[in-house]
Amino acid sequence: MKRLLCVAGALCLLTGCASAIRRDVAMPGITAGAPTFVVDETKPDDYPGYMAAEGNIYSCRYGIHHLARDEFSPSKAVIFESLLRQEVPEVEGRRVVLERFDVYHNAKMRYRAVAAPAVAGAVGGVVGAMIQHSLENPVQGFALQRAYVDGDPLNHRIPNENEVGCEDKQEGSYYASYVGGGVDVIVSWFAFRIDDKPFLFKTYYAFQPDDKARMAKALQESMRMSVVGVAQRVRPALGLAPGESTSVHVPDVPVPDASATPPAAAKGSTP
């Protein structure tokens, strides 16, 4: 127990607790102010503090940071409205209600890799194997494409694989097989209605956080790419032709065929 607490303290020194708490992101080219056609019905932040979650080695939220409202500039509703308008300008004349726009930075695998030498034997075989995969396979699968969109996040499950994060909390977890190893992942949730038609998406963006500048750039790019991917699925659902402004296609998350894999026994999330 004391040994693991010491490791947590050491990680706090290595990563910098103060810097680990905030991931301030400013979106260039988007003017601050109130949204003009998006109705903001997002809920207040409800995520545990640093030592109860992101900095707690015993928590399934360990290494996972939820970006609070005051870490966005301008507001999340304004960012969403501006990015959606760029990709689906036709929605400006419709009623758009934003119910959720949550962004999580999942650095759990990197945190575990830092802690691994000190807690070898205490982490467990599954997590240990995932760490080894992360170290041996840097940025696997993201040479050209670093973003995925899941249009059915409440039902997609991968048998025989634990999520990196908390199972069934609908937060910042992901499956390692989605992105390979050696990367952090920005996980975003979007829930909104357009003329009372509901939409729910979960997006993934993998990157290597070399420094604070790369972190900020990754957050900006992840939000832009996420909304691009969301828009590519919203347009046909609204009966609109494909947009002409986007040159990149954001693919669906690579969910395996469940019928080809025997069902697994229920498992908990990674510790």
Q: How far apart are CA 86 and CA 201, in angstroms?
A: 18
| Domains of the chain: total | 1
Q: What is the largest CA-CA distance in the chain?
A: 60
Of 156, 133, 169, nearest to 61 by C-alpha is 169
Of 140, 142, 109, nearest to 250 by C-alpha is 142
pLDDT tens digits along 123-169: 333 333 433 443 344 333 333 347 899 999 998 888 889 999 998 89
- pLDDT at site 126: 36
Identify the sign of the CA torsion 83, 139, 271, 150: positive
Residue 260 lies in a domain: no
- pLDDT at site 34: 84
Of 167, 234, 237, 166, nearest to 201 by C-alpha is 234
Q: How far apart are CA 240 and CA 139, in angstroms?
A: 35
Q: How far apart are CA 234 and CA 229, in angstroms?
A: 9
- Res 116 pLDDT > 90: no
Kindly indicate the confidence band of residue 266, based on its pLDDT and cuts at 50, 70 and 90. Answer: very low
Query: Cα angle at 83 between 72 and 246, to 5 degrees?
Result: 140
The residue range of the domain holding 153 is 2-254
Residue 109 lies in a domain: yes
Q: Burial, 74: exposed, middle or buried (Cβ in 10 Å; 0-12, 13-18, 19+)? A: middle
Kindly indicate the confidence band of residue 11, based on its pLDDT and cuts at 50, 70 and 90. Answer: very low
Q: With residue 177 as reference, give the H or E element that holds it.
A: helix 176-179
pLDDT tens digits along 29-85: 898 888 899 999 999 999 998 899 999 999 999 999 999 999 999 999 999 999 999
- pLDDT at site 141: 31
Decide which of 259 and 23 is more confident.
23
- pLDDT at site 119: 46
Residue 266 lies in a domain: no
Cβ-proximal residues to 61 (8 Å cutoff; 6+ apart), any chain: 48, 53, 54, 165, 166, 171, 172
- pLDDT at site 250: 84
Least trusted range by pLDDT, from 17-21, 24-28, 109-113, 259-263: 259-263
Residue 112 lies in a domain: yes
Residue 234 lies in a domain: yes
pLDDT tens digits along 207-241: 988 788 888 899 999 999 999 999 999 999 999 98
- pLDDT at site 210: 77
Residue 82 lies in a domain: yes
Q: Is 35 in contact with 77 (CB distance < 8 Å)?
A: yes
Residue 189 has phi, psi (to 5 degrees) of: -115, 135
Cβ-proximal residues to 201 (8 Å cutoff; 6+ apart), any chain: 149, 150, 151, 153, 189, 190, 191, 226, 229, 230, 233
Is 0.85 surpassed by the pTM of this model?
no
Buried b (16+ CB within 10 A) or exposed e, 116-138: beebeeebeeebbebbebbeeee
